[in-house]
Structure 1
Amino acid sequence: MTDQAVAAAVARRFFGRQRELKALRADIERTGLDTLTGRKAPRARVLLVAGKPGSGRSALAEELADGLTDRYPDGVFRARLTEPGGDPVPTARVAQELLAALGVAEPPGAAEDELTELVRRAFTGRRAVLILDDAVDAEQADPLIPDDPDTLVVGVSRGPLTGIPDVRPCTLGGLDAKSAIELLTAFTGSVRITVDPQAAETLVEECGGMPAAVVLAGGWLAARPKASVADLAKQLRGLTGDPLTRTFLLAHEALPATAARILRFLSLAPLGRADAHTASALAGCSVSAAATTLADFAALGLVSAADDGQYEVPGHLVPLLRAQLEERDRPAEVQLAQARMLERTVRLLQSCRAVTEPEGSAARRKLAGLPRALRFPNRAAGADWLRSRQPVLLASARLAVADGELDTLARRLIASFVRALAAHRGAEAAAPELYGLHRLVLDVAERRGLHRERAAALLNLADLDARTGRTKDALLRYRLALDAGRAANDPYAIGRAMESVGGSYQELGDWQRAGDWYGRALAQRLARDERADQARLYGRLGAVQTYAGRYGEALRNWRAAAAGYRRLDDLPGHARALSEAARVQEYAGRPEESLRTCEEAVEWARRARDTRLQAALQLRLADTLDRLGDPAAAGLHRAAAERLLESRAAACEIRSGFEKD
């Protein structure tokens, strides 16, 4: 078995902690305060595993959850509440990750309270386990605790979560000597342990029984078959600091200089996760060399390997690595490594999007010129990569913006990410992620005084607000976008913002202001001779004037829209505008004129060969004839509409059959 296989096998095994597991399982059954008072438990039972980083607290929570699959058949859900560097993760972001795992769609731009409510509601009726890993405090964890008593919550924290009622704590110290030696033996084999059992006991004592320290010691010994256990114990005894720090320093010093540098730079990886591409970019080495080095680190217990080609730096090692990075590497080198990592990510995202383009397109030709390591063989491979890397990519964008010194790369990264998401998932499905990315663009634009980018970000955010029913929020952002567009002297942003402000007032039922803003947008389009936009705005003006009961103005605008579409040779648009003019005439009490206009619209729809539109207009014509007292003619038009729809359905069936053949 290779060293990497040994490390993977050890990672899957669990050592010791049987007393703690038994106590935690007993706590699940123990009567709570609510039950003692005669009330049904209103919330999920909460267990707490408390201990220092590196004490195996997360592993214990996972082992507990794995043993409860029969009692909680709806699965185990996990959320990490602390970044690898020690910063707390915002509760809203934790809720978003849980909703994604639960398969629940979130409204773009939803507030924290709304997101946590969705999480709690999603767990209703589920017999599931929720692991809240590395919680900072009760305020961070409490909003995520489901209200369903059939759900079990296992919290992991440094200390007590004071403020959450009826928590069952389990505080961890070091492993017992027997279990710690078993963990060490899994790396070294039994021979070196059995020949000097006293030295093995001394070594695990020097490690304080901390599983993380024992793993590093085991990896050090596994890489040095001729070194004795007593030698390692002696070296550890000569160092100062806590057990984890001493074993880490020993492991770090034992690495070749190049490998030690790569290891330090892994602390810059978003979420502490890196694949061969990330490590290669950070270190400035080849992808193959980075892949080999990462596998070596896994064998030494310095990183853990996942099934998707990513490696994760344990959270308890990240602060130690960053301390070494600050001490040994110049700030310019660190910034250059971050820039290389972002640039590599941009190229991968561009490749991921390009693979969705048709064969022979410019994007595909550009893709063919990239190195093989940066190319995806097909669309499915690109989609799989994007899905598995999405949390890391989002974290990359956040870190790039927060850095403040790499704004150009941050903007390129976000733009490439937005395009890749839209290409693979569609803008509608990716809306929650896009909302967060547009907010990051806005942060950079405001910091750098980039008015054009600020206007674009505000427009994108406002569109998502409007789509999710937050019309007043959208209106505020559209007006801010108008100011930014004017500051940038950007006619597109100005016109788009004015029209969108009108749309927001229309949604709010304020027809007067909606018409005023549509008029301003129309004046700008007329000045710039933008004819397609003119036709559309004439139609929007006609619509709000119809709602306001100003039928004369509405009819003039709909006729202007119809004329505009006709000049553009847009026959379906011309027919639709005429049909709306006919509707206004009917509202105004002029049914004969409405009938003639509607007949004209039907004729233009026929010329446009738009069967569905022609059928819809003939049905409207039939309704008008009914109101005029001519049921026979109305029946003829209805029959004609039915024949059109039947012929269209038959044509669709024939095309479908050809596609299957």
Structure 2
Amino acid sequence: MTDQAVDTDGSAAGGAVPRPAPAQTSEGGQFVGRRRELKELRADIDRAGLDTISGRKAPRARVLLIAGRPGSGRTALAEELARQVADDYPDGVFRAQLTEPDGARVPTERTARELLDALKVPAPAGADEDELAEVLREALSGRRALLLLDDAADAEQVDPLLPDAPECLVVAVSQGPLTGIPDVRPCTLGGLDTAAGVELLSRAAGPVRITVDPRSAESLVEACAAHPASLVLAGGWLSGRPKAAVADLAKQVHERPDDDSAPGALSRMFQLSYTSLPGAAARILRYLSLAPAGYVDPHTASALAGCSVSAARTTLDDFVKLGLVRAVDSSLPQYEVPACLVPLLRARTESQDRAAEVQLARARMLERTVRLLQSCRAITEPDSSGARKKLAGLPRALRFPHPGAAAEWLHVRQPALLAAARLAVADGELDTLARRLMAALTRALVAHRGTEDAAPELYGIHRLVLDVAERRNLPREKAAALLNLADLDARTGRTHEALVRYRLALDAGREANDPYATGRAMESVGGAHQELGDWSRASDWFGRALAHRLARGERTDAARLHGRIATAHTYAGRYGEALRNWSSAVTGYRKVGDVAGQARALSELARVQEYAGRPEESLRTCQEAGEWARQADDVRLQAALQLRLADTLDRLGDPAAARLHRSAAERMLGTEAEEVRGPAANDSKEGSGASACEIRSASAED
């Protein structure tokens, strides 16, 4: 990403940010050392487990544990093992990070959803961790896949994710044992052997100095405790100083005192690297610990440090050479801060920067993210729109050249964007920016992915909005968040949960004196009761919503609510009440000049008349509805009405006229006529709901 424009040069594979090369993997991608550990791990895959020995079939996947301290090369070893055995697991290798860079546990719900996304298995928005874990196990059943679960805090994080499929393999990475998971095969890592340490140092620093002074190289490996992350830093330090001797660096590492807060070779080597940086670069490096999810792009670094995007990009590339950050294999310039360095960077930030400066850096980062999201959404608008005109006034660094580039940026940065929203809400002192960020992120996701596809992410965002609204006592925003959450609950079949949230939204709407939220909540409560089959409560709540709309003079909505009340009465078999309300709906649509709405209401009135045993009245009403449908140019409704006329005429003993109407419907819709006729011809009470929905499908409002 440059100062000129936000652009892309390809598409990232999968649904998550691509992983960087771990510390123990060289720049060219070749793994260093750990031959013995790899051999043992591969042997453990095929070794008989306790169940096999006892004659029982293994009920779950085999679990291998790679244990070691951060920076010990544990993730690199897991990745290398996965690479070597990938062909044995043709259904794929799937990865998940179980701990945030700041040490916080990743909820099982989020991990399961990420794995399901990678498996391309849809997961319902708002589902809890038990439900998602069950969906994940079902998705992996019958597959031969490998799961790499990185940085697990304990067995409680790993156990819900284990597939009930013996053909699968789980490779877990952790700092300690996973007590509680049976038959785990542990591999505990210490330092590299000397030869592997020298090789890693040689690849990071260049081979010449290492070759001419092998004893000093071995001494440096010893001083770094053969710790891979420390050796990468040492190699980076040497690569930036072509004239420095390996022996001098080894002596400095040996003699440098331990940091009381973080003793060890990694801390000593980090101190040497950090103190050698210019002041501006050191400040940028410190602030990288604030990056959401540990992923940094030039815009994030630029906003945190208050420098230009091009300067931030150059500095980040320099950090890669020094081993301080890792470049992510991605279609966009993106970097990761090694998790083992995050605590060291945070300690420097706390000791060297005032709290107000750190908070200002966070605010700059959130503000930049909001502007990028606004630009990301605006590029999808027509050229003549106000959003596009406003976009033209932004700096080039904040503009996307075309919608495809914006969609790619949103896709690649989505994990970091969602993490930024979570961190902003958790901060508690930047709620105004957090609310703007969540609003911009919601609009961008909807613009590029649509409401249905982005529903899982939107559900999480709405929950965050609700948290802020409750903390800040913002009843209007609380009502909106509850309505959005309840809508998503209703779409995924959690009607009881939706009903509870609709009632809470009604209370919040009344507290805020928000007529829109109040009316919407009352109508939604009625819809939830209707979905649950409680027709009396449904009609009662629709009636309350109707009174609210009439008091505000909202006649179109009032006509629609008359229709919803009539539908509830129809389901309950109260045809007299249904006829009165459909007549009121027809009158309401006529008064507001909604021809299509009037035609649909008349068609439903005709249906109820037929259910009530009034075929002649139904015939006349149906003919009138057909006239209005022709004026509205609604061909589908006209065809459905022709088929209903045919069925009614059959019942009245006029088959010749019925055939004429069926022929007319076939001419209107061709091959679709039979599809429309099915629900339209259903004359049972049980089928009335389906046919009513079929007629009303011509309008999203009804």
Question: TM-score normalised to the size of structure 1?
Answer: 0.96
Q: Which amino acid aligns with 1:309?
A: P
Q: Does residue 436 of structure 1 match 2:460?
A: yes
Corresponding position of 1:561: 585
Q: Please list the CA deviations of residues 438-484 of structure 1 after superposition, one character each: whole Å capped at 9, or x if unmatched.
A: 00000000000000000000000000111111111111000000000
> Aligned residue for 1:641?
665
Residue 313 of structure 2, aligned match among 261, 269, 291: 291
1:228 aligns with 2:245: yes
Whichever residue aligns with residue 276 of structure 1, its letter is P
Work out whether residues 611 and 648 of structure 1, in 8 Å CA contact, stay in contact via their aligned partners in 2. Answer: no
The secondary structure found in structure 1 opposite 2:72 is coil
**Alignment partner of 1:464 is 2:481:** no
Distance in 2 separating the partners of 1:587 and 1:75:
56
CA contact (8 A) 2:26 2:204 kept: no
**2:150 aligned to 130, 133, 141, which one?**
133
Alignment correspondent of 2:109 = 92
Q: 2:371 aligns with which of 347, 351, 355?
A: 347
Once the two structures are TM-superposed, the CA of residue 178 in structure 1 deviates from its matched residue by: 0.5
Structure 1 residues 647 and 156: CA distance shift in structure 2, 3 A? closer
1:149 aligns to what SS in structure 2? coil
Report the counterpart of residue 276 of structure 2 in structure 1: 254
Code of the aligned partner of 1:573: G
State the shift of 1:389 in Å: 0.8
Alignment correspondent of 1:381: 405
Name the residue aligned to 2:326: 304
Letter matched to residue 463 of structure 1: D
- Supply the distance in 2 between the matched residues of 1:205 and 1:315 (Cα, whole angstroms): 23
Q: Which residue of 2 aligns with 1:479?
A: 503
Contact 2:455 2:488 in 1 (8 A): yes
User: 2:407–2:448: 8 Å Cα contact kept in structure 1?
Assistant: yes
Q: What does residue range 580-591 of structure 1 map to in structure 2 within 5 Å?
A: 580-591=604-615
Q: Which has the higher contact order (CA 8 A, sep 6+)?
A: 2
CA displacement, residues 122-143 of structure 1 (integer Å, 9 cap, x when unaligned): 1122222110001000011010
Alignment equivalent of 2:139, drawn from 108, 122, 127: 122
Matched, 1:276 2:293: no
Q: Which moved more, 1:640-649 or 1:411-420?
A: 640-649
Q: 1:361 aligns with which of 385, 393, 404?
A: 385
Aligned to 1:394: 418
SS in 1 for 2:116: helix
| Residue 256 to residue 319, structure 1, CA distance change in 2 (3 Å) | same
- State percent identity of aligned pairs: 72
Indicate which of 44, 51, 55 corresponds to 1:38: 55
Q: What pairs up with 1:523-538 in 2 under 5 angstroms?
A: 523-538=547-562
Q: Which runs of 5+ in 1 are unaligned?
A: 650-661
Q: Letter of the 1:546 partner, please give it.
A: T
* The one of 422, 426, 431 aligned to 2:450: 426
Q: Is the 8 A contact 1:46 1:155 kept in 2?
A: yes
Alpha-carbon shift at residue 9 of structure 1 (Å): 5.1
* Structure 2 counterpart of 1:617: 641
Cα distance per residue 1:366-424 (max 9 Å; x no partner) = 11111111111111111111111111111000000000000000000000000001100
How far apart, in 2, do the equivalents of 1:341 and 1:17 lie?
Answer: 40
Q: Which amino acid aligns with 1:270?
A: P
Measure, in 1, the Cα distance between the counterparts of 2:511 and 2:659. 59
8 Å CA contact retained: 1:213, 1:248: yes
Higher mean C-alpha displacement, 623-632 vs 215-224: 623-632
Question: AA paired with 2:519?
Answer: G
Q: What code does the residue aligned with 1:464 have?
A: L
- C-alpha deviations, 1:110-158, integer Å up to 9, x for none? 0100111111111122222110001000011010011111111100001
Q: 1:51 aligns with which of 58, 68, 73?
A: 68
Per the alignment, residue 74 of structure 1 pairs with 91
SS of the counterpart of 2:87?
coil
Q: 1:179 — aligned with what?
A: 196
Q: How does 1:157-196 map to 2 (within 5 A)?
A: 157-196=174-213
Judge conservation of contact 2:26–2:200 (CA < 8 Å) in 1: no
Secondary structure of 2:86's partner?
A: coil
SS at match of 1:67: helix
Distance in 2, Cα, partners of 1:328 & 1:641: 79
Partner of 1:657: none
Q: Taking structure 1 as reference, are residues 621 and 156 closer, same or farther at Cα in structure 2, changes over 3 Å only?
A: same
Following the alignment from structure 1 to structure 2, what is the Cα–Cα distance between the partners of residues 350 and 511? 44
* Superposed displacement of residue 87, structure 1: 1.1
Looking at structure 2, the residues matched to 19 and 544 of structure 1 have their Cα atoms a distance apart, in angstroms, of: 71
Q: Which amino acid aligns with 2:295?
A: R
1:11 Cα deviation from its structure 2 partner: 6.3
The one of 631, 640, 653 equivalent to 1:629 is 653
Deviations 1:584-607 (A, max 9, x none): 111111111111111111111111
Number of matched pairs: 645
Q: Distance in 1 between matches of 2:527 and 2:515?
A: 18
Residue in 2 aligned with 1:656?
none
Q: For 2:147, what is the secondary structure of its paired residue?
A: strand
Distance (Å, rounded) in 1 between the aligned partners of 2:596 and 2:639:
13
Residue identity in the other structure for 2:515: P
Please list, as runs of the form range in 1=range in 2, the aligned pairs for 1:309-348 lying within 5 A after superposition. 309-348=333-372
State the alpha-carbon separation in 2 of the partners of residues 179 and 273 from structure 1: 29
How far the C-alpha of 1:568 sits from its partner, in A, is 2.1
One-letter amino acid matched to 1:130? L
Q: Which amino acid aligns with 1:264?
A: R
* 1:10 counterpart letter in structure 2: E
Note if contact 2:26-2:32 (Cα within 8 Å) is conserved in structure 1: no
Tell me what 2:534 maps to: 510
Deviations 1:190-219 (A, max 9, x none): 221233222111111111111000000110
Give the 3-state SS of the residue equivalent to 2:288 in structure 1. helix
Deviations 1:506-535 (A, max 9, x none): 111111111111111100111110011101
Separation (CA, whole Å) in 2 of partners of 1:11 and 1:126: 32
Displacement of 1:648 after TM fit?
9.6
Deviation at 1:433, TM superposition (A): 0.5
